Copies of this chain bind each other. A is one copy, B any other.
């Protein structure tokens, strides 16, 4: 596995798991892989995975059943909220990037409207 240097691995693992949850790859209430398996999969120490999952547990996104494993929350509203929050964070980062590239707010909005129109017409996002 390739993790960006410069950001803690456990935070990157959190993001990976969160993405699997919001994208529905892991369903609400479904069992997660064991700590040891994830550690093997990501090529990190089990403690690092443990730290990531502990934090997600604290965020109530996963819960633990002792001696059997960890499960994704069954609260679908919470998952939808997380998804929206992740999407908005990503959009904001994008817009800040645009700002740094020299786009004014007005230009950014124009760019967006343009993309929206194109998406409505094509019915898809992908251009390739």
Contacts and interface: CB of A to CB of B under 8 A. Distances in A.
Interface residues of A, number: 42
A105 to B, nearest CB: 5
A42 interface: no
A109 B102 contact: no
A5 B86 CA distance: 24
A50 to B, nearest CB: 11
A75 interface: no
B95 A83 contact: no
A8 interface: no
Contact of A108 (B4, B109, B119): B119
Listed from nearest, the 3 A-B pairs whose CB atoms lie closest are A95-B125, A2-B5, A2-B6
